[in-house]
Structure 1
Amino acid sequence: MIAGGCRCGAVRYTLAMDDLPAVYCCHCRDCQTGSGSAFAEQAPVREAALAIVKGAVVDFTLPTSNGAISRHFACGTCHTRLYNVNSGRPGLAIVRAGTLDRSDEPSPRLHIWTSRKQPWIVIADDVPQWPESAPMDAFAALFLPGQAAE
């Protein structure tokens, strides 16, 4: 079981997984603004694997540029964003990797929206990157092997 939670400790969650999820970094302007940082580090997981085990979350929705609705979940006390789901990707939750208890362990498998990355960020040559979104087949192969059709 993998665990994580918010900054103040009021909300805790678990992921029904044996290993830490893979992570990617998104450098788009929305992720920069939403995280208050240079990029967002995110972990795609099956939504059914995610369970809030302590505390109350609040949620809000944001439209996406492609017309989907992104629903974001945060601690009701400290407002740490924990994860989001998107109507365009049913069954998938995107966990904010910094909220994992073992957040220092995963290394990004890919970077997207590098056309917007800060110029001082250097991405290793062996890590795939795309100037905008990664093609879904490439994304699924790296993060959801055997699940691409689900």
Structure 2
Amino acid sequence: MTITGRCRCGACNYAIDVPALPPVYACHCHICQRASGSAFSVQALVREEQLTVTGPVIVREIVTQDSSGPRTSAQRFCGECLARIYNTNTRRPGIVVVRAGTLERSEELACRAHIFTNYKQTWVTLDPAVPQWGEAAPPDAFVAALLA
């Protein structure tokens, strides 16, 4: 199955070759709130080789440091409208993080996990049946939640 997506203006288009709509998660950290200009961001994780992008893409690398050490996030934006499309991260080689709102059929996606909920906006109500973590999720539990 090929799932498509695009930026706001349509200059950047992409296709993801996957067997079904990808699972998505919501991140409530302050970095995602600032990057999205909203209460949280919603992402889909897919393998890098599954993604094909056409159109003008601008790459901006952001280096951050935490208790696990430094990491580099390479953010990809449409070169025309500057919509953030996806990113890669040195801590997850071979994985791309696609902004779920840029996917066609995004209304069909189901959020499978919430991370960094210690920072969520007080007016946001989460479904208690969906796994959630106050900070970063343990990798094994996070993958299990996404694949559930």
Same fold (TM over 0.5): yes
Contact 2:75 2:87 in 1 (8 A): yes
Contact 2:131–2:145 (CA<8 Å) still a contact in 1? Answer: no
CA deviation after TM superposition for structure 1 residue 141, in Å: 1.9
The CA deviation at 1:140 is 1.8
Q: After TM superposition, where is structure 1 displaced by more than 4 Å over at least 4 residues in a row?
A: none
Cα distance, 1:89 vs. partner? 0.7
Preserved CA contact (<8 Å) 1:110 1:128: yes
CA distance in 2, matches of 1:12, 1:103: 15
Match of 2:36 in 1: 35
1:95 aligned partner? 98
State the distance in 2 between where 1:64 and 1:139 align. Answer: 21
- Asked if 1:116 corresponds to 2:123, the answer is no
CA contact (8 A) 1:112 1:129 kept: yes
Please report the RMSD computed on the Cα atoms of aligned residues, expressed in angstroms: 1.2
Q: Distance in 2 between matches of 1:88 and 1:125?
A: 29
**Paired residues, what number?**
144
Can you give the 5+ residue segments of structure 2 that lack an aligned partner in the other structure? Answer: none
Please identify which structure carries the higher strand content.
2
Are residue 23 (structure 1) and residue 11 (structure 2) matched? no
* Pairwise CA distance, 1:63: 1.2
2:59 equivalent to 1:56: no
TM-score, with normalisation over the residues of structure 2? 0.94
* Whole-angstrom distance in 2 between the partners of 1:120 and 1:19: 32
Paired amino acid for 1:132:
E
Deviation string, structure 1 residues 101-128 (Cα, Å, up to 9, x no partner) = 1111112100000000000000011001
Tell me how far apart the structure 2 counterparts of residues 65 and 117 of structure 1 sit (CA, whole Å).
22
Structure 1 stretches of 5 or more lacking a match? 146-150
Q: Contact 1:44–1:143 (CA<8 Å) still a contact in 2?
A: no
User: TM-score with structure 1 length normalisation?
Assistant: 0.92
Does residue 12 of structure 1 match 2:13? yes
> Percent same amino acid at aligned positions?
49
Secondary structure of the residue aligned to 1:130 is coil
